[in-house]
C-alpha cells in the first residue's frame, strides 16, 4: 500500500457566491472535503486504483467528521488522535477571485507526536511508498519530516517529500535524504536565491549540482504549472511538457503530481514513466473543478500527450 501523511488536516470548506457583499449577509451552500495536501494525494491515489492508507494527526469533533469525509472518499485512514480540534479552512469563490481563510490548527504535544511516530513506523513497515505533504502543525519540531524520512529509509521504502519553509530546510540539511522532492519554480528560486523561469532553465542543473543540500536526492523535480516540469534524476535532466489544456482549477495540481509519482514509483516504473505519470495527474487535476480530483476519462489522451525530452 501507499502511505500518505497529513500532519495538519483540515475540513476544507468552499463557499461560492457570484458577488461578495461586504458588511452584509451572503447566503451560501458549503461544499466540504477532507483537506490538507496529503489528503489530496490520497484522493488521487484512490482514483488511480492504489491501495492507500492515510495517516497523520486528527482531533476532536472536526477530526471525527474528517474521518467520515475520508470514508465517503474511500480512503482508509489510520490517524493518531490528539486532544486539539482539527482545523477548518475556508475558500471563498467570488467575483472571479478565490479568497482563503486558513486556520493555523491545533497545538500538538510531545507525547502525541511520539504516539504518531510509533504509529507511522508501524505503517511504514507495510508500505511500498510514503508521501509526506504540507506544513507541520504547532508544537511539532521543524525536523520532524527529516525524522520520518529516516524511518522510511531505514525500512528501504521510497519517501516523497512535498513541503516548504523550515520543514523542507531541515529535511534538506539532514544526512538521510528523501527519494524525491518537488518544489515548484517559486519555491526552488526561494531556496537557491535564483530567478529561473520556465523559459530559462539553462543553469539550473549546475546550480543544483553545486548545492550540497540536494546531493544524494535521487529525484529533484521542479514543477512549473502549465509549463510542465523538469526533473534531475540519475545524472539526467528530463523536461516534461504537458499538452495545452483548458485549466479549470489548478489548486492541488502539485499534490496530484505527487500522487502520480508515488503510483509509478511504487509500481517500479522507469524514470520516463514516473515523470509522465506525475505530469498527467497534475494536468488532469487542473482540468477538474474539484481539488485533488482527476478527469479520468482524459487519461489516455493526456498520458500520451505529455512530451518528455532529455536536456
Q: Which of 1, 17, 245, 267 binds ligand ADP (CB under 6 A)?
A: 245
- From the list 244, 248, 245, the residue with the least C-alpha distance to 290 is 248
133 binds ligand ADP (CB under 6 A): no
Residue from 143, 255, 270, 288 carrying the catalytic annotation: 255
225 binds ligand ADP (CB under 6 A): yes
Smaller CB separation from ligand ADP, 113 or 220: 220
In the residue annotation, 255 being an active-site residue is answered as: yes
| The pairing of beta strand 180-181 with beta strand 159-162 | parallel
Binding-site residue total for ligand ADP (CB under 6 A)?
18
Smaller CB separation from ligand ADP, 170 or 287: 287
Give the integer Cα–Cα distance in Å for 62 and 125: 29
C-beta atoms surrounding 242 within 10 Å = 23
Q: Which of 242, 262, 265, 266 binds ligand ADP (CB under 6 A)?
A: 242
Q: Which of 8, 47, 229, 291 binds ligand ADP (CB under 6 A)?
A: 229
Q: Containing H/E element for 148? A: helix 144-155
206: Cβ–Cβ under 8 A, 6 or more apart, which residues? none
Q: Phi and psi dihedrals of 244, rounded to 5?
A: -70, 130
136, 165 contact by CB (below 8 A): no
Q: Which of 121, 247, 267, 308 binds ligand ADP (CB under 6 A)?
A: 247
Task: Give the catalytic positions in this structure.
Answer: 255
Q: Which residues bind ligand ADP (CB under 6 A)?
A: 184, 223-226, 228-229, 242, 245, 247, 250, 253-254, 257, 279, 282-283, 286
Amino acid at each position: 500500500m501507499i502511505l500518505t501523511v497529513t500532519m495538519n488536516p483540515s475540513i476544507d470548506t468552499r463557499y461560492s457566491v457570484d458577488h461578495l457583499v461586504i458588511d452584509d449577509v451572503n447566503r451560501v451552500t458549503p461544499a466540504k472535503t477532507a483537506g490538507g495536501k496529503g489528503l489530496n494525494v490520497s484522493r488521487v491515489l484512490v482514483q488511480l486504483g492504489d491501495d492507500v492508507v492515510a495517516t497523520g494527526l486528527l482531533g476532536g469533533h472536526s477530526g471525527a467528521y474528517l474521518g467520515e469525509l475520508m470514508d465517503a472518499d474511500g480512503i482508509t485512514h489510520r490517524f493518531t488522535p490528539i486532544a486539539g480540534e482539527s482545523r477548518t479552512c475556508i475558500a471563498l469563490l467570488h467575483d472571479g477571485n478565490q479568497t482563503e481563510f486558513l486556520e493555523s490548527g491545533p497545538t500538538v504535544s510531545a507525547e502525541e507526536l511520539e504516539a504518531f511516530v510509533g504509529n507511522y513506523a508501524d505503517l511504514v513497515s507495510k508500505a511500498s511508498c510514503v508521501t509526506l505533504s504540507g506544513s507541520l502543525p504547532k508544537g511539532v519540531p521543524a525536523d520532524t519530516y527529516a525524522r520520518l524520512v529516516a524511518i522510511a529509509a531505514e525500512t528501504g521504502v521510497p519517501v516523497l517529500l512535498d513541503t516548504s519553509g523550515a520543514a523542507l530546510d531541515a529535511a534538506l540539511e539532514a544526512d538521510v535524504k528523501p527519494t524525491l522532492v518537488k518544489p515548484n519554480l517559486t519555491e526552488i528560486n526561494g531556496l537557491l536565491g535564483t530567478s529561473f523561469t520556465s523559459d530559462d532553465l539553462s543553469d539550473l542543473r549546475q546550480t543544483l549540482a553545486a548545492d550540497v543540500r540536494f546531493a544524494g536526492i535521487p529525484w529533484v523535480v521542479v514543477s512549473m504549472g502549465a509549463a510542465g516540469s523538469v526533473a534531475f534524476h540519475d545524472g539526467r535532466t528530463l523536461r516534461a511538457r504537458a499538452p495545452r489544456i483548458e485549466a479549470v482549477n489548478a489548486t492541488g495540481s502539485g499534490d496530484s503530481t505527487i500522487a502520480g509519482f508515488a503510483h509509478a514509483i511504487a509500481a517500479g516504473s522507469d524514470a520516463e514513466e514516473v515523470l509522465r505519470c506525475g505530469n498527467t495527474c497534475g494536468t488532469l487535476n487542473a482540468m477538474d473543478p474539484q481539488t485533488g480530483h482527476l478527469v479520468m476519462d482524459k487519461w489516455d489522451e493526456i498520458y500520451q500527450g505529455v512530451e518528455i525530452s532529455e536536456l
